[in-house]
Structure 1
């Protein structure tokens, strides 16, 4: 890998960690799965870096968390987080970043703003929830339908993150197009 690629991957991994410093809001009836800003980092990693680099940034972040760094919202880290109710979301994050990056790379006919919004929504919400909801259901011992219904509380905040991702991607594409690696 080129040095620039490694720096980009490390930067987005660090960004995801920094977003974990923002306050979280726990949802008691969903086994304590918090509302955090970190899913914004997942969306940005995929949309900005493309499928492989975006997924690698998230995997690097999760590796550092597994080593014990308290980088998840609320200062959580270590292998134990992979046995909690957020495990499905954590598993879905690199896959969501990959899908977001893939959509962004393939949607070249669309302008950056709508392409980024579509990519962030499908990868950062759809794919991540596809793993997160069954994870909540399994770990919190909730029926799948109840876990899905309870997860609806996250949608408005996640849609705001989609909008932020789209605006950031469009702004970067105008000012520093080479930084939008998914479109290079």
Structure 2
């Protein structure tokens, strides 16, 4: 299978993963934002596909949902995109791009190649913060739609979700470290660079 076709297949698979994980949600009575596994899918898409295809995998779902396809928790259309969770949805592709860019550079770092504990810690912090960029748009948009203060919006749409985001980042970190040799992003980097840490990963696949 050519690299381009393989990348498209993986992009479609992670888009499907994002759709499936959007259905796994826990409604919280005090806020219109449910607890879901969408951020985990975003983190994994970025880490395994890299910035470009990670972005495309999530953006394709958001774009199709925006035109009406029921892909986000069985819903779609502009009412969803402009609703309470709209700001988060818009930012998810950006989060995937950021995760892919940052983790790719981190895992190719020779300085961290032999420091497994430090590498794992740095990867967790990177995935957590890049995956949490959705709050930059999600909280202000929630403030606008709910017509409440920013502080109240943070209590309703940010603070309760941070512990869950930590757990999702831990899960993503474990999966990336366990399956890193099969990440298309790292294999692509190996072909371009031909050496270094990424080369070590690809040689194991």
How many residues align? The count is: 177
Aligned match of 2:127 in 96, 112, 120? 120
Q: Indicate conservation of the 8 Å contact 1:99/1:119, yes or no.
A: no
- The within-5 A match list for 1:1-184 is 2-22=4-24, 24-30=25-31, 32-73=32-73, 75-107=74-106, 108-109=108-109, 110=112, 111=116, 113-125=120-132, 127-150=133-156, 151-173=158-180, 177-182=181-186, 184=189
Shift of 1:28: 4.1
- Unaligned residue ranges in structure 2 (runs of 5+): 190-205
- Unaligned residue ranges in structure 1 (runs of 5+): none
Q: Which has the higher contact order (CA 8 A, sep 6+)?
A: 1
Q: Indicate conservation of the 8 Å contact 1:100/1:124, yes or no.
A: yes
Structure 2-normalised TM-score? Answer: 0.79
Q: Indicate conservation of the 8 Å contact 1:19/1:37, yes or no.
A: yes
Q: Deviations over 1:41-98 (max 9, x none)?
A: 011111111111111111011122223332223x222222111010110111011111
Structure 1-normalised TM-score? Answer: 0.87
Q: Based on CA coordinates, which of the two structures has the bigger radius of gyration? A: 2
Runs of at least 4 residues off by over 4 Å = none
